[in-house]
Structure 1
Amino acid sequence: MADTKVIVIPEGKICDYIDGKFRNDTPEEYVRQTIEKRLINEHKYLPAQVKIEYILQLGSSKKRADIVIFDHDCPVQKQEYVKIIIECKRETVEPKNAKDGIEQLKSYMSACPNCEWGMWTNGKQKEVFRKVIDRNGKTYFDDYNDIPSADGNLEDIDRPKRNNLKNASDDNLLFVFKTCHNHIYANDGLQKQPAFFELLKVIFCKIEDERNIPDELEFYATSKERNNPDGQLTVKKRISKIFDRVKKKHGKIFEANEEIKLVPRSLAYIVSELQKYSLLNTNIDIKGKAYEEIVGANLRGDRGEFFTPRNVMKMVVFMINPTTHERVLDSSCGTGGFLVNAMTHVMNALEYDFSKQIGKLKVEWNNQELRVFQDKVSELAKSNFFGFDINPDLVKATKMNMVMNNDGSGNILQANSLLPPHEWTDEFKGKLAEALGINKSDIRNHETIEYFDVIVTNPPFGSDIPIKDENILKQFELAHIWESKSNPRVWIKTDRLQSSVPPEILFIERCVQFLVPGGRLGIVLPDSILGSPGLGYIREWLIKNTRIIASIDLHADTFQPRNGTQTSVLFLQKKTQEQKDTEEKNGTMADYNIFMAMVEKIGHDKRGNPIFKRDKEGNEILGPDNNNVLFLGDTAEGSRTVSLQQKKKLEDDQTPEVPEIFSKWKKREGIAW
């Protein structure tokens, strides 16, 4: 920040993405800013082509159009040269609204003789029109899937080509997912959860089509198909063929006789909304935020499931640093966020090695090289990444998340992993044994499950969901009653079991049981485990069986707005039997340092709203947006070069700083991983 020029934002204002002016921070403005980012980053319009709150003359009155776009070679930016008009409304305004609906947009388009395109959106619904004037001078407005991009190519609106698929930016993918889900919910008579799973089927088809290199894309719905019954049936037939391939490839997720239940009209609409994006190549954070937010809104359960914020997951994965040869597990995988981040971390290393091997950066790879790399990723996911969860809906959601990001759906399994291993279902043991390359009979009890090098997890926790089953409890030393002896204070395990134990305590021990000797664990836990005097026996057990590497104290609002429990992330490394025997023989524990940090700023408040950095006077500031840099380079003909870096509010979040500090500390301590 020392060399960065910052801009102060007045209270209650936002800085416009395109023209830099301060405007009131309202729901309508949020929609407009999201559309502006899409115009620049996806459609590749230059900021100079786009005007905000442009005054239009409609008869004797003047109106403000939210956004208008001119051709880049327009001689003068006057009303008669407006090419595209976009109207942005808050979510509560419906398209048929008499004052602010699509008729308002059409009146603006009619008042601009050369305006060919218009878009109306409220963030959850979108209507696009192309103005057509027949030979008799009568004006018609034809429905279209989307406005054209800066190159004016209309074919890509109806049937995108592989090299023209767009990477989503900022909240646009979240907008699209919400729009599609709301459309199904409103038009197909499905409740929220079934509507969500129907959307998942369509997303699976989209990803399968993108992976089907080098064949032409088949996941599309033209504007004409979308707007007539026969065309809608054509789309359904085309997508159903893709879904047949999906079912063969993902038989563990979909039954062979399963079908897409959406009516043809809804399916055509959803396909038209998704078809322009590359779900495979869009930034993981954008995909993750969109996907996990919509999953959380539809599948959040009542078993203490509070999904970990993305910034915390990223921090934990960077600190625990999984490598390409290590098996990684999330024993309470939820929506799969930890696994996706871990897989991405490993994929980045794999991409670096592969690029070095063939002497090309990824942007230069041909189709064959892409397929080879994709196969390497699939093999890595199949052999090294595992996720367990008791909730079958979350298992399916995690598989989808892994497929959307890196094709790693194979080892996401439904199970109550706290059960004694001999009580695990035969199906679960069979699939797990096959993936681990062992015999099913090798999985006998809690002493024979040391198979994972790295575990990253956020187990369900809470005294309102205790474990009382004696068959489960007797597997765990931490489920016994421990008595404390003072002078010096020590804890002694008795033979008696506690009557009930919160699940997070058992998950600590189960995760250590899952680890190979020397394996490492990053686990989110309530602070009471680390600080409560009555739980000192847990800390004693941890010191005996693990090396405590680090403890990161998280801000109280980390899991807000849904849960206010104060939490920390604990990083542990499992001791070998030789290390434990040596310490027991010597009567002393090995002496070592522990890395400790407090994350005092988590990037959002207790309502879940983002918190941004402020100057000394308390004003929000702007800094460079490194994710949105538009560059149009010189061509052989010597055309202009434009380099543009937009500004954005800087989230007040300390989690990205912790791994860097931890990495330096780790080197000083001689910790190799």
Structure 2
Amino acid sequence: MSVTANIIDDEKTTSIITIPEGKICDYIDGKFRNDTPEEYVRQNIEKRLVNELKYSRERIKVEYGIKVGSRRPRADIVIFPDGVESFSQENVKLIIECKKETVEPTNKKDGVEQLKSYMSACPNCEWGMWTNGKYKEVLRKVINEKGQIEFIDYNDIPSADGSVEDIDRPKRVSLRNAVEDNLLFVFKTCHNHIYANDGMQKQPAFFELLKVIFCKIEDERNIPNPLEFYVTSSERSNPDGQLTVKKRISKIFERVKRRHNKIFEHNDEIGLSPRSLAYIVSELQSYSLLNTHIDIKGKAYEELVGANLRGDRGEFFTPRNVMHMTVEMLSPKSTEKILDPACGTGGFLVIAMNNVIKELEKQMEAVFGKPRPKWNHDEYRMFQDKISDVASSNFFGFDINPDLVKATKMNMVMNNDGSGNIFRINSLLPPHEWSSDIKEKLSDILGISRSAIRNSKSIALFDVIVTNPPFGSKIPIKDPAILEQYDLGHIWEKNNGYWVKTSRLQSSVPPEQLFIERCMQFLKDGGRMGIVLPDAILGSPGLGYIRQWIIKHAKIIASIDLHVDTFQPRNGTQTSVLVLQKKSQQEIDFEEKSRKMADYNIFMAMAERIGHDKRGNTLFKRDKYGNELLVPEENNVLAIGEIADGTKTVKTISKTKIRDDQTPLIADVFKIWKQQEGITW
């Protein structure tokens, strides 16, 4: 058996700038600034101003000095209107103050009152926003009948075209795709608001927020009808208006329950107070949750889930870059049955589904004879129906945690509009102990007889498995009824250098060891899987019988050694991704009879850089002197007022840091290697 190890990290970049230690390069003016929590908030806001709200960089100034009485403090961000030539204080139109999370809006020195003083000092400043990343306040300055300044609360600042109407009731064409961590800010803000104002614990608050998110998605799907998920600024600020909003959103929730009756009960209601509901709607209404990029939604959602639903069963959710790499290597197809038997929040399934959606999109573009942006409403609806069909027939997720099962269903809907088949199952149990209801549903979906799911030998039902099972000695499997299903649940003894299974059961087995065999049982002959495993399985002398078992039952396609910090800051276990292809029983019998195993190459790689450190902080590529690198980045943003038919884009050039992450490179090199080896999937 020969082994290949062929990963070369291409360090060639078009970098033109290096960033000194402890500094960041400002998104607007390119100046180096100290890398602080306040700066993190400001940089996300700056990217939102340009990429979401379409403000021109040339009209935005950072650290702008404002004369307030005898003082001259610096406002974090100011924006000047189009048409003015002088960037003087009297021409300032909008002021934004950004603070770190620990600064409260009521803070006497750095809170909202500071923003009001700046706005008052600028005679033509109409808008202001104060934010600390988890709380936002937007003010519009008006002069009342007595000639006095008043500040009116608004949902949001206007976009560059100045449309105040869209702030209160967005149109479909004005919905924005979130950028960077701004959606994460919104989710955190909403959850914290519910937690603080409705007296709910974190977990119930999380599920109430998800009800509202589902209403937002349902409203976006309701093409071509006008959007109903909105709250005007005046409604948000008075009790009668808040009740009107609750009635409006509750009607949408009735449609949600009918569409997603596997997630919500028919008697479920939105349990938020009208005040909180109006606030959350105001925070979400300007975004398109269906069209925002999967990774931005995924990061925001999974961080929120992790903060509120993380259990004590070894549930350490897989980093998105590792999930992307693994799914890219497995390359699932729209016609294949795909399973994650320990689905957690559903990250693997969401990414696999989005890969399949790309395949479906190419197929539909060929059928319609035009690219997706030029599809009409009927064509887009046909595409959505196809996605739903594939999700409902080919995507499966199992998890023992009922809250994570619900979270996975919601994640699937939010990210690709299809909840799939997500069931609460202890995947390691004997199949005859699964509930009759679940077995009945599985048999209907898979097109098999209801008596077919009997034992561990009758569940080879899936083409692709991608998973990160719970692992650790703290959650061992001790039940003999479970252990007896598995070769790896038995005691093995070494005889003349070869491991032999005995008839005696082990007293306890870490779950990840049994998951290897259960995943193989789930696979059809020739099926493939990607599984995250602790390195002890691949290297510990005492676990040699597991490696022998794997080699007997599967062809080892790839082994990717992950960096020790991959699961940090929560878990420091050294792990690898193993890609396996199941052998048929005929192949196994032939190799045993001939006492000769087929010779083949194995793709092996080490991810020496994973994109973050042990504290979870993002790491970026550096030059030979240790300075972070910046490269030009071209952004294509939808021009203001343009619609899907005849899309027009405006190109903006910015400079961005390069995440020091080798996982995309590993997936790319694997694809080339796979072709060279004649592997056809």
The question of a shared fold, defined as TM-score above 0.5 by the shorter chain, is answered with: yes
Report deviation, 1:57: 1.1
* Partner in structure 2 of residue 531 of structure 1: 539
Q: Aligned runs of 1:169-208 on 2, under 5 Å?
A: 169-208=179-218
Match for residue 520 of structure 1?
Answer: 528
Give the CA deviation at 1:585: 2.3
1:380 aligned onto 2:390: yes
Distance apart, 1:100 and its partner CA: 1.0
Runs (5+) with no aligned partner, structure 2:
1-10, 643-647
Q: 1:381–1:409: 8 Å Cα contact kept in structure 2?
A: yes
Contact 2:161–2:640 at 8 Å: present in 1 too? no
Residue 630 of structure 1 contacts residue 645 of structure 1 at CA under 8 Å; is this kept in 2?
Answer: no
The Cα of 1:118 is off from its aligned counterpart by: 0.6
The Cα of 1:134 is off from its aligned counterpart by: 2.0
Shift of 1:408: 2.2
Q: Deviations over 1:460-517 (max 9, x none)?
A: 000111101011011001111111122xx21111111111111001100000000000
Q: Which residue number in structure 2 is paired with residue 231 of structure 1?
A: 241
Equivalent residue letter for 2:139:
F
Letter in 2 for 1:81: N
Alpha-carbon distance in 1 for matches of 2:641, 2:246: 43
The answer on 1:400 being equivalent to 2:428 is no
Matched, 1:221 2:231: yes
1:72 and 2:82 aligned: yes
Q: Does 1:475 align with 2:485?
A: yes
CA distance in 1, matches of 2:592, 2:638: 63
Report the AA paired with residue 51 of structure 2: N
Q: Corresponding residue for 1:160?
A: 170
What is the percentage of aligned positions where both structures have the same residue? 71
* More displaced stretch, 96-105 vs 521-530: 96-105
Aligned with 1:668 (options 662, 676, 680): 676
CA contact (8 A) 2:408 2:422 kept: yes
What amino acid maps onto 2:436 in structure 1? D
Q: Is the CA contact (8 Å cut-off) linking 2:398 and 2:427 kept in structure 1?
A: yes
Following superposition, the deviation at residue 410 of structure 1 comes to 3.6
Q: Which residue of 662, 671, 676 corresponds with 1:654? A: 662
CA contact (8 A) 2:394 2:420 kept: no
In the alignment, the residues of structure 2 paired with residue 575 and residue 453 of structure 1 have an alpha-carbon distance, to the nearest angstrom, of 13
Choose which of 569, 575, 589 in structure 2 pairs with 1:567.
575
2:13–2:631 Cα contact (<8 Å) kept: no
1:600 corresponds in structure 2 to: 608
1:641 Cα deviation (Å)? 9.9
Q: String of CA shifts for 1:13-57, please: whole Å, max 9, x gaps.
A: 111000000111111111111110000000000000100011111
Q: In 2, distance between residues paired with 1:147 and 1:590? A: 65
1:435 corresponds to? 445
1:661 to partner: Cα distance: 0.9
* Residue from 137, 143, 153 that aligns with 1:143: 153
Residue 95 (structure 2) aligns with? 85
Deviation at 1:441, TM superposition (A): 1.2
Partner of residue 551 from structure 2, selected from 540, 543, 551: 543
Change (3 A) 1:595 1:410: closer
Q: CA deviation at 1:99?
A: 1.1
Matches within 5 A, 1:313-352: 313-352=323-362
Report the Cα offset of residue 345 of structure 1. Answer: 0.5
Name segments (4+ residues, structure 1) moved above 3 Å. 628-635, 640-643
**d(CA) in 2 for partners of 1:434 and 1:386?**
13
Of 428-437 and 332-341, deviating more is: 428-437
Query: Which residue of the partner structure matches residue 612 of structure 1?
Result: 620
Task: Show CA shifts across 1:173-205 (max 9, x none).
Answer: 000000000111111101111111110110011
SS of 2:599's partner is: coil
Equivalent position amino acid for 1:547 in 2: K
Provide the rounded CA distance (Å) in 2 between the counterparts of 1:214 and 1:41.
26
Deviation at 1:75, TM superposition (A): 2.5
Q: How far 1:584 moved relative to its partner?
A: 2.2
In structure 2, distance between residues paired with 1:84 and 1:605:
37
Asked whether the equivalents of residues 546 and 574 of structure 1 are also in contact (C-alpha less than 8 Å), the reply is yes
Cα shift at 1:59: 2.1
Aligned equivalents of 2:562 and 2:446: distance in 1?
Answer: 34
Deviation at 1:622, TM superposition (A): 1.1
Measure how far apart 1:633 and its partner are.
10
SS of 1:522's equivalent in the other structure is strand
Distance 1:101 1:498, change over 3 A: same
RMSD: 1.5
SS in 2 for 1:205: helix
Alignment match of 1:275 (pick from 285, 290, 308): 285
The aligned amino acid for 2:529 is L
Secondary structure of the structure 2 residue equivalent to 1:440? coil
Q: Say if 2:13 is the partner of 1:6.
A: no
Tell me whether 1:303 sits opposite 2:313 in the alignment: yes
- Check the 8 A contact 2:52/2:179 in 1, yes or no: yes
Residues 1:583 and 2:596 are matched in the alignment: no
Q: Which amino acid is the alignment partner of residue 539 of structure 1?
A: R
> What SS does the aligned partner of 1:561 have?
coil
Match for 1:527: what amino acid? D
Give the superposition deviation at 1:631. 7.2
Could you say what secondary structure the match of 2:444 adopts? helix
**5+ residue gaps in structure 1?**
none
- Shift of residue 434, structure 1, vs aligned partner: 2.0
Check the 8 A contact 1:632/1:643 in 2, yes or no: no
Shift of the 298–146 alpha-carbon distance from structure 1 to 2, 3 Å rule, reads same
Q: Normalized against structure 2, the TM-score is what?
A: 0.96
TM-score, structure 1 as length reference: 0.97
Displacement of 1:634:
14
Q: Secondary structure at the match of 1:61?
A: coil
Mapped to 1, the partners of 2:662 and 2:223 lie a distance apart of 41
> Relative contact order (alpha carbons < 8 A, sep ≥ 6): 1 or 2 greater?
2
In structure 2, what is the Cα distance between the partners aligned to 1:641 and 1:667? 36
Q: What secondary structure sits across from 1:456 in the alignment?
A: strand
